[in-house]
Amino acid sequence: MITDSVRALLLGCLACMASGCVTSSVDQMVFNKPKQGIGNASVVILGRRHASDYDTEPDFVECVGEHIASGDDSIQVIGELEFINDFYPWFEPRTAPLQIADLERLMQNQPVVAERLASLNTQYMIWIDGSTIRNDSTGSMTCAIGPGGGGCFGFGTWSSDAKYEATIWDFSESAEVGRISTTATGQSYMPAVVIPIPIIAPVQGTACDGIGDQLLQFLSSQY
């Protein structure tokens, strides 16, 4: 039998799930925005993985690329894995350029890199740096199996924090032309009355949408 307190808890969790349970913010600093979009040029989106304590998740980089492509199908987004494999070993985590001046030197010292970039008609390279971190969880849950069956009872909760920054390099200007940062925080829940029901806050997805929307405004002529 579900008590009034458990029912209220479940209803509260469901309401939280419906509202997303995520708070987010986006900041941007961009300049030299293309007036008519990027036309026939392509854009490549890569994740930074040179930090010692975290790696930018490949699925987040893929999410941003898909968000841009779905928002404007005229924008050609080159996949991260495809690009890194094609330019091996110059964009591996230990060798990837950290500044656009480093990329300029790379193209001067390795003409094959400049030739391949030219063949792709790449105008913008976007580096995404950051990660989503799950913080300590609280609550407890017990599960048991008896003659009449089994089940779990309890409640757990945890928070997740996402923080990402996108840096835009413009090859035509040989310059950094913008930075977009986003943060998102959310609370997830795991109520259990016989069966555990995870209610996950879409923290990473919210951060992806935040950066993706701002990049669309920069790259697309439709916004």
Write the pLDDT tens digit of every residue in 166-186: 999 998 888 999 999 999 999
pLDDT for 138 equals 81
- The token pair at 168 is 């835009």
Predicted confidence (pLDDT) per residue in 187-199, tens digit: 888 887 778 778 8
Q: Which residues of 115-137 are buried (b: 16+ CB within 10 A; e: fewer)?
A: ebbeebebbbbbbbbbbbeeeee
Predicted confidence (pLDDT) per residue in 205-220, tens digit: 999 999 999 999 999 9
Q: How confident is the model at residue 201 (pLDDT cuts 50, 70, 90)?
A: confident
**Between the CA of residue 171 and those of 75, 117, 125, 164, 196, what are the distances in Å?**
16, 10, 8, 23, 51
pLDDT for 90 equals 95
pLDDT for 21 equals 75
Q: What stretches of the chain show up as alpha helix (H) in DSSP?
A: 4-19, 58-71, 80-86, 100-109, 111-120, 203-219
What mean pLDDT do residues 64-68 have?
A: 97
What mean pLDDT do residues 77-96 have?
A: 93
Could you report how far apart the first and last alpha carbons of the chain are, in Å?
A: 54
| CA-derived radius of gyration, the chain | 22
Q: How confident is the model at residue 100 (pLDDT cuts 50, 70, 90)?
A: very high
Tell whether the model's pLDDT for residue 13 goes beyond 70: no
What mean pLDDT do residues 54-74 have?
A: 94
Q: Cβ contacts of residue 59 below 8 Å, gap of 6+?
A: none
Question: How large a percentage of the chain has pLDDT more than 70?
Answer: 89
pLDDT for 59 equals 96
- The token pair at 145 is 């199996």
Pairing of strands 76-78, 138-146: unpaired
Q: pTM to 2 decimals?
A: 0.82
Q: How confident is the model at residue 11 (pLDDT cuts 50, 70, 90)?
A: low
CATH architecture assignment, domain 22-132+163-181+202-219: 3-Layer(aba) Sandwich (3.40)
pLDDT for 196 equals 78
pLDDT for 5 equals 47
